[in-house]
Amino acid sequence: MSPIQNSPVKNFGTFLNQQIKMPQLRRSKSKSKLKLTVPQAIRRKIETDLSKKNKATNRARQTRKAPPGTVLALRPSQALQIKPNTTVAEAAQLMAAKREDCVLVTDDDDRIAGIFTAKDLAFRVVGAGIKAANITISEIMTKNPLCARTDTSATDALDLMVRKGFRHLPVMDENQDISGILDITKCFYDAMEKLERAYSSSRKLYDALEGVQSELGSSQPQQIIQYVEALRSKMSGPTLESVLTGVPPTTVTVRTSVKEAAALMKENHTTAVLVQDGGSITGIFTSKDVVLRVIAPGLDPSNCSVVRVMTPHPDFAPMDMSIQAALRKMHDGHYLNLPVMNDQGEIVGMVDVLKLTYATLEQINTMSTGESDSGPAWNKFWMSLENETESVLSGDGSHQHPSGGRSLMSPDFSRGHERQVDASVAPGDSASHLGADSPGHSHVSRHMDLPPEDVPFAFKFKAPSGRVHRVQITASHGLGELISAVISKLGSEVDVVGGAASYEDGKLGASGFALSYLDDEGDSVSITTDQDLLEAIVLARSNHRDKVDLFVHDPEKPPITATLDPQPPIPQHIPTPTSTIRRRRTVEEEEDSDDEPRVKSKSRKQAAPTPEPQVIQGVPNELLLPGAIVTLAVVIIIVLKYLSVAMCYKAIFELQEIGSETSIAYTTTSAISMSEISKKSQLRWRGDSRKALAAPLRLSQLRTISTETSSIEASIDNHEKQTHSIEATINSLHLTRNFVPPQQRKPKDPTQDVAANYRALRHIKKTTARLGSVVAPHYEPHKLITNPPSPKEITLELLMASQSHLGHATSLWNPANQRYIYGIRQGVHIISLEETAAHLRRAAKVVEGVAYHGGLILFVGTRAGQDTAVVKAASLAKGCHLFNRWTPGSITNGDQILSSCGIKALDENDNPIAGFEDKLADWKALKPDLVVVLNPLENYILLHECGLNNIPTIGVIDTDADPTWVTYPIPANDDSLRCIQVIAGVLGRAGEQGQQKRLEAAKTGTITWLPPPGLGEPVTEESLRRQAMERALAKRKPLPVRKEANKDDDDFPGLGL
């Protein structure tokens, strides 16, 4: 038997009909008192003061434009500042309210005096055994930290953080005021999107090359095979196995105190420890938990176990996971440490976000940049984020896209050519034209260091005569340059588009032609100022285009290309392959035409063939034959359908005539054969259709059509065969029997047709069962109470139907619930149903385990409508329930409050054991082994008492509740009765399964019964007789013992021996 069954709580099962019913008080008072606890009030007060104090400063800083290449371009975050005389407890509450793990300490002049992090609080305060309320920040902070100026090079600042091992670096402005704090992990997360896009591009290239390799087989060159292999090895990148040192992670048990865990962190130089229970990992405890869950709430680290404040069931990563994937996993999960597991399921190490960031930067640093004076290799990696952000978001027109991100995933053998590749690659450029000798893009390298408005950009427009022109325009030269270039290209054609335009005061004049272009949404946008010209260039570059399609038109007409000699519209027809090719060639010739003279090809000098005259005006000759065949086929199908329906009606009419006469044979219909009627009608129709088509067609066309009717005649013959088969079927019917009047018929036994009628009835029901109806499950409101779901039946559809995803308004949320929130809809937080399902399954396993070991489970739900749910769950799990207000002290002072509750002893099969009545009368009150609270906000006192007695708790946590109040939170909507019924039913079914497994184990002898210490054996008649005999023997006088005289006494008679 396990040790947990030796305690009195776990051996004697449940209370005897124990329902903890307390006086009903007004819930409005308790609700208002419990919802606003002391830490929440302090946090709200601090947030209000900080928002008022830093409102103007934040607005001023957001409007500043960061100079490129500086620390300010890395977007340092706003720093949290406090004074040196602040206590550690107050600082921890401030950090918990602002969700920060690094704080700057300022003096009376608001100058930086020190810095401290969550790691310092865990190592220097909790690990050293110092109380947080008795020590100030000035005693544990790092004084005079290294700082960076806003105009400092970003590369120098990042290089300093990597060399010194810093994660945070304060940033000062030119006035020595605090401008922010730089977090290298956040900087890397922002730049990691560049890395992921580079990976996706390399992935596509690798897939394409692999497809080519599989198609060519072994005949491809050796260089292609080497490139594919190098790309595969580079795409995989370094894995977590490369950063592991072989040192196993630090582990503690669930009963280890926070003080001991912090001391182990300090001793092993780590910020996280794994929590074990019975050889399995049940949670993780970090330095951030020390600040947010221990110091901030005011718990005593020496008396608080890590199981109360740990993060249960952490995520794991395999050893073969790439560093990039691990960083993305940690960023999406909002945690800083990640345990690593091998293929056998063993924990081999633990990595933190700082170690993975440094490993990635080291990988980038090993790559060649092609420039010896550019500093570390990650310089372009960081600056690429800034350039890309400006070109896409700020709209400054920059088209410089450094290739730092692409070089991260390129093979090693291609690094030798990096010196020939231009560093500024536009989105529309090709990798094959990036060499130094490439004439097509030489202007890009010449203007690499110029601002975007000084870089020329191409504009293409079409003249009224159909000639296409291309011009290069620099935005800084203004709109006048574009107008002059258009006028010079149009020449004498400028009058067709409204005359020459004028440029006055930086705007397009009212007279002359107008300029327009199409934006990314397909709308026509006019160009009237220099800013419009710059925006057109920026929009084209952001859409990865190398030119702007310009429309030069009359301002009184829509922006379409004008023509000198408008032609009448040609009727639209279906394009044939020949016309499609001809049209494609025309478009290519129009795009390639320019004002420069070009050499004409031989194919253009050849005379065009004379077009064939059309038989029908507007319809090509090649469409006449297919159209005639399709029309003929449609008419034949319609006629055949009509004939088949007519024959069926005729057969039915003749059958009715046969039934009305005495003796009529079906042979009367043989005079006129249906096949002859069908054939005559079809021949008549064929003759009429031929006459109808003969008028507009030529003789040659008629010959062509007549030669193609062999397939149609074959279809008519097939129809005639089908008609004969129908006639044979009708003739085979026994319709020649003599007609017998009803009065002369013999009475039939009604029981003969019962079986046939029953089969017909079932067939009709089966055929018409789904006609005009919808089969759907019927909703029963009380089904969740009468038949609650089991843990295996937890689905996202069930949780969605129970409204488990609806949270509270965004103004009422608790920041600790951020990991459980999916998004915001109409000002309301939406809870992630995947998180709800995972935490509900975990809580069900806990309930099942407690029930299996004979523990006592208490279900609590004190809101209106939750009484039926808690009663049903308690009855399934064989536990206790509470649906009235909790009486304070029922656990800490249960001997006085619960003295009237009955207790009974049960064996391993849940059978009552007699003989313990006298002993159980004075036995102390039982305490639950697990408490399930469906509304934690109204039961904070109960949860506090459970925490003082180390009783694990399960609670339904809404977006306005604090998940640290309970041991196992279930993020869900606590205001929905249906959601509460689903959760209570699932946990009750889990307890029922645990009880069933325990009883089955008891029958096989796996679990035995032992009395707890102090209870002794049960009192029976035999034991009473044995005790009476023992008492009687104890009362009897002992017989005197006779002493034998010593022979030596005679020698000394004077001695009274």
Domain ranges of the chain: 3-23+782-1004, 237-365, 446-564, 635-730
Percent of the chain with pLDDT over 90: 15
pLDDT top residue among 458 and 231: 458
Inform me whether the pLDDT recorded for 1014 exceeds 70. Answer: no
**With bands split at pLDDT 50, 70 and 90, how would you rate the model's confidence at 696?**
very low
User: What pLDDT is recorded for position 977?
Assistant: 92
User: What pLDDT is recorded for position 531?
Assistant: 84
**With bands split at pLDDT 50, 70 and 90, how would you rate the model's confidence at 868?**
very high
Inform me whether the pLDDT recorded for 656 exceeds 90. Answer: no
Inform me whether the pLDDT recorded for 135 exceeds 70. Answer: yes
- Burial of 1012 from C-beta contacts in 10 A (0-12 / 13-18 / 19+): middle
User: What pLDDT is recorded for position 30?
Assistant: 39
- Greatest mean pLDDT among 223-237, 334-348, 581-595, 950-964 lies in 950-964
User: What pLDDT is recorded for position 955?
Assistant: 96
Q: How far apart are CA 575 and CA 92, in angstroms?
A: 75
pLDDT top residue among 361 and 817: 817
Residue entry with tokens 């952490």:
314
Inform me whether the pLDDT recorded for 203 exceeds 80. Answer: no
User: What pLDDT is recorded for position 1037?
Assistant: 55
In this structure, of 483-497, 596-610, 939-953, the range with the lowest mean pLDDT score is 596-610
Mean pLDDT over each residue of the chain, to the nearest integer: 71
pLDDT top residue among 639 and 9: 639
Give the CA angle between residues 180, 183, 186 to the nearest 5°. 115
**With bands split at pLDDT 50, 70 and 90, how would you rate the model's confidence at 44?**
low
**Who contacts 335 (Cβ-Cβ below 8 Å, separation ≥6)?**
286, 311, 314, 315
User: What pLDDT is recorded for position 200?
Assistant: 61
Q: Is the dihedral of CA 593, 597, 601, 607 positive or negative?
A: positive
Residue entry with tokens 């009030």:
41
In this structure, of 43-57, 125-139, 199-213, 579-593, the range with the lowest mean pLDDT score is 579-593
In this structure, of 62-66, 199-203, 986-990, the range with the lowest mean pLDDT score is 62-66
Q: What is the pLDDT of residues 642-652, one digit of tens each?
A: 776 666 656 55
Q: Is 830 strand, coil or helix? A: strand
In this structure, what are the phi and psi dihedrals at residue 471, rounded to the nearest 5 degrees?
-130, 155
Q: How far apart are CA 863 and CA 71, in angstroms?
A: 54
In this structure, of 13-22, 355-364, 805-814, 820-829, the range with the lowest mean pLDDT score is 13-22
User: What pLDDT is recorded for position 987?
Assistant: 96
In this structure, of 16-25, 251-260, 350-359, 528-537, the range with the lowest mean pLDDT score is 16-25
The continuous run of DSSP H or E covering 433 comes out as: none
Give the CA angle between residues 789, 793, 795 to the nearest 5°. 115
In this structure, of 205-214, 262-271, 279-288, 713-722, the range with the lowest mean pLDDT score is 205-214
**With bands split at pLDDT 50, 70 and 90, how would you rate the model's confidence at 943?**
very high
User: What pLDDT is recorded for position 661?
Assistant: 45
In this structure, what are the phi and psi dihedrals at residue 942, rounded to the nearest 5 degrees?
-60, -45
Q: Which residues pair with 824 in a beta bridge?
A: 829
Q: How far apart are CA 365 and CA 483, in angstroms?
A: 49
Q: Is 349 strand, coil or helix? A: strand
Q: How far apart are CA 121 and CA 125, in angstroms?
A: 5
Pure H helices in 353-450: 353-366, 379-389, 404-407, 442-446
Q: What is the pLDDT of residues 718-766, one digit of tens each?
A: 666 666 666 665 555 444 445 556 556 666 666 777 888 888 888 888 8
Residue entry with tokens 């009783």:
951
- What's 3-23+782-1004's CATH class? alpha beta
**With bands split at pLDDT 50, 70 and 90, how would you rate the model's confidence at 964?**
very high
Q: Crossing angle, helix 222-236 and helix 184-216, to 10 degrees? A: 150
Residue entry with tokens 């087989």:
217
User: What pLDDT is recorded for position 846?
Assistant: 95
User: What pLDDT is recorded for position 127?
Assistant: 86
pLDDT top residue among 215 and 325: 325
Inform me whether the pLDDT recorded for 908 exceeds 50. Answer: yes
In this structure, of 61-65, 100-104, 508-512, 882-886, the range with the lowest mean pLDDT score is 61-65
User: What pLDDT is recorded for position 225?
Assistant: 57
pLDDT top residue among 629 and 262: 262
User: What pLDDT is recorded for position 849?
Assistant: 93
| Cα separation of the two ends of the chain | 61
User: What pLDDT is recorded for position 729?
Assistant: 59
User: What pLDDT is recorded for position 371?
Assistant: 44
User: What pLDDT is recorded for position 605?
Assistant: 40
- Burial of 736 from C-beta contacts in 10 A (0-12 / 13-18 / 19+): exposed
Q: In angstroms, how far is CA 784 from the centroid of its own chain?
A: 29
**Mean pLDDT, residues 698-716 taken together:** 48
Q: Counting every residue, how long is the chain?
A: 1057
User: What pLDDT is recorded for position 77?
Assistant: 83
In this structure, of 210-219, 446-455, 494-503, 861-870, the range with the lowest mean pLDDT score is 210-219
CB atoms within 10 A of CB 330: 21
User: What pLDDT is recorded for position 1044?
Assistant: 52
pLDDT top residue among 49 and 790: 790
E strand map for 736-877? 806-809, 821-825, 828-831, 857-860
Inform me whether the pLDDT recorded for 208 exceeds 70. Answer: no
* Token pair in block for residue 680: 């005559």
Inform me whether the pLDDT recorded for 386 exceeds 50. Answer: no
Inform me whether the pLDDT recorded for 421 exceeds 70. Answer: no
Q: How far apart are CA 410 and CA 402, in angstroms?
A: 14
**With bands split at pLDDT 50, 70 and 90, how would you rate the model's confidence at 587?**
very low
User: What pLDDT is recorded for position 832?
Assistant: 94
Q: How far apart are CA 18 and CA 897, in angstroms?
A: 13
CA atoms within 13 A on the CB side of 763: 6
User: What pLDDT is recorded for position 719?
Assistant: 61
**With bands split at pLDDT 50, 70 and 90, how would you rate the model's confidence at 236?**
low
Q: Is the dihedral of CA 244, 246, 247, 253 positive or negative?
A: positive
Cβ atoms 578, 611 nearer than 8 A: no
pLDDT top residue among 905 and 1014: 905
User: What pLDDT is recorded for position 899?
Assistant: 61
User: What pLDDT is recorded for position 747?
Assistant: 66
- Burial of 974 from C-beta contacts in 10 A (0-12 / 13-18 / 19+): buried
Inform me whether the pLDDT recorded for 829 exceeds 90. Answer: yes
The continuous run of DSSP H or E covering 325 comes out as: helix 323-333
pLDDT top residue among 536 and 380: 536
User: What pLDDT is recorded for position 970?
Assistant: 96
Radius of gyration of the chain (CA): 45
In this structure, what are the phi and psi dihedrals at residue 951, rounded to the nearest 5 degrees?
-100, 120
Inform me whether the pLDDT recorded for 564 exceeds 50. Answer: no
Say yes or no: domain 446-564 is CATH 3.10.20.90: yes
Inform me whether the pLDDT recorded for 599 exceeds 50. Answer: no
CATH topology of domain 237-365: CBS-domain (3.10.580)
**Mean pLDDT, residues 785-808 taken together:** 92
User: What pLDDT is recorded for position 11?
Assistant: 33
Q: How far apart are CA 411 and CA 223, in angstroms?
A: 12
Identity of residue 264: L
